[in-house]
Structure 1
């Protein structure tokens, strides 16, 4: 999209130099579908460590694979880091600037991004997490959540490129997520063929649960309906995005306190929301 020339079937050694032999068969399709065999995250690094992209890309390519390319699903933020590097090489733009210009802003997402220099600091939600003392750790007592700052404070403290760019780290709003849902529902921004490829179950995540992975989206069935979904977390904040295309339902949730983990509650609420929407549709003439 956007005038770039990147082939889904092309191997990464067409774009990157000095690719080791065990990774020469990794394609862009493998990176998008999390079937490249690359590890999930780098060892001994936080999400927000500053990197030199040239040096770091070479380090990523030297990491041992967890599986042969295309052999099986393995979630890899490192794979999406490499995708961001390929976008920069093909477009000649900074990755975030490219995404803003060609995807986010055309879809109406005005408060979504990695840096968001124009967003006032008071609009950024504070993250919370437990900080147990020795007594609480010894007796397994629940620690009180404490503020750990907002999701962009690391950029103010130390500007620079992060390895996690490409794999996550965006901040956003419920309004912007609704705008993205509407763009998905209307088939905007991308071609119809691109949307179809994105939502195609390319590789099994969990065969017992019937879950698969497309391009950047998990795909499964919930209560008999197809669901396109993803979750995200920086270790403190947590978000979920669920899209049910057959009934035109979109559910977005966000929490900024990881100690009050919302997943159990969401597991109870989401089926009720889906049943309510379906019942309403059936009742309407």
Structure 2
């Protein structure tokens, strides 16, 4: 009898502790969400950002928060709005290239003149010595199209979108920054060329390959790659886009759409932050998008003194608290994004806004500061 009561007492204590733990986790999660919502609201109500969307996946929860407007002055942003993901698109392009590597159609260590026509490789610096891997990890030494002195004037004075040849024209016959593989230089043109390689080896529009072989198998329902899609206007639910202008915001949605439609491979994804968090969680935590060997290739990071650590379509850096983050960011005329996975805590964080940071360093710094505050709140 004594044993009977003892067992009942032990079970009572066990289940009481379990319920307390669950209640504590729930309370902690609710407190975290409240803290994060306050950070977002403070950033939009002070007119730093028109709209913000934040998605988080932790070991025991996933949620999306939003603040501000998808379209000024009154259309509130919500978890279903599509945000321009800018250079986060590079991770999708890299995944497509690695899938083709797994199929035996691409050799990462082959030079790009094995895949691209001479009309391209003879006109770009390092065209016969740059390897596919050099494009992927930003060590090709190629000049970028945005470095051309005419580029920014051209995109605001000419009809958009530009075709591929127009973009390539900004790097043709321009000198390389260095010999391939000897240094790091972030250049969007690397991923433009990767999109063309996808088309050469598959015989199909690279849009279709990314859509059918990366987006669809990942189970992403609100993620779209729009260059070469035939769209003539943004998809329904896409946020309007702005630039900061003396304390207010100027709508540049038409320019934003036109530029993103022009930039193949290095840009092009519009999605909910919820979907993008699911993508990076599947890629880096669940490891269901690429086979282990190919994911390992993706995670080989450059290590040039004083330069960012860049893998194949992924950044790696340490936060101010010493936590490792892996993912990508993006900056455009009318949008900005951050998407990072923290392997120590298996946490994924995606933040997006609909104001440009590409040519506005003050806004870029404000967005980084908000990102860092969110990281500090979540990653202990």
Asked which structure has the greater RCO (Cα within 8 Å, sep 6+), the reply is 2
Give the secondary structure class of the aligned counterpart of 1:84.
helix
State whether structure 2 residue 111 is matched by structure 1 residue 6. Answer: no
How far does the alpha carbon of each residue in 1:22-73 deviate from its partner, in whole angstroms, 9 at most, with x for none? 4311000100000000123342235794444357547645321111111100
Offset from partner CA, 1:225-259 (integer Å, 9 cap, x none)? 32102110212211001111121011110011237
Equivalent-residue separation in structure 2 for 1:262 and 1:52 (angstroms): 31
> Which residue of 280, 302, 305 corresponds with 1:181?
280
- Structure 1 partner of 2:252: 148
Question: Contact conserved, 1:124 with 1:151, CA < 8 A, in 2?
Answer: no
Q: What is residue 262 of structure 1 aligned with on the other side?
A: 367
Q: Deviations over 1:114-135 (max 9, x none)?
A: 3276x9844010111134xxxx
* Equivalent residue for 2:205, pick from 62, 86, 94: 94
SS of alignment partner, residue 224 of structure 2: coil
Q: Which structure 2 segments of 5+ residues have no match? A: 1-98
Tell whether 2:323 aligns with 1:219.
no
1:177: Cα distance to partner? 0.9
Which protein is richer in helix relative to its size? 2
Whether the 8 Å contact between 1:33 and 1:203 is mirrored in structure 2 is no
What TM-score do you get using the length of structure 1 for normalisation?
A: 0.79
Contact 2:241–2:256 (8 Å) recurs in 1: no
C-alpha separation in 2, matches of 1:120 and 1:24: 38
Contact 1:34 1:74 in 2 (8 A): yes
Count of aligned residue pairs for this structure pair = 257
Aligned residues: CA RMSD:
2.9
Confirm or deny: 8 A CA contact 1:181 1:250 kept in the other structure. Answer: yes
Q: Is the 8 A contact 1:33 1:214 kept in 2?
A: yes
5 Å-filtered alignment, 1:167-206, equals 167-184=266-283, 185-204=285-304, 206=306
**Whole-angstrom CA distance in 1 between matches of 2:367 and 2:166:** 38
Cα distance between partner residues in 2 of 1:77 and 1:36: 11
1:124 to 2:238 alignment: yes
Larger radius of gyration: 2
- 1:114 lines up with 2:225 in the alignment: yes
Q: Distance in 2 between matches of 1:205 and 1:111?
A: 39
1:177–1:267 CA distance, 2 compared to 1 (3 A): same
Q: Distance in 2 between matches of 1:176 and 1:193?
A: 25
- The structure-2 alpha-carbon separation of the partners of 1:111 and 1:251, relative to structure 1 and needing over 3 Å to count, comes to same
C-alpha separation in 2, matches of 1:120 and 1:73: 34
Change (3 A) 1:146 1:152: closer
With 182-191 and 100-109 compared, the bigger mean Cα shift is at 182-191
Q: Which runs of no fewer than 5 residues in structure 1 stay unpaired?
A: 132-141, 276-285
| Secondary structure of the corresponding residue to residue 200 of structure 2 | helix
Q: TM-score scaled by structure 2? A: 0.61
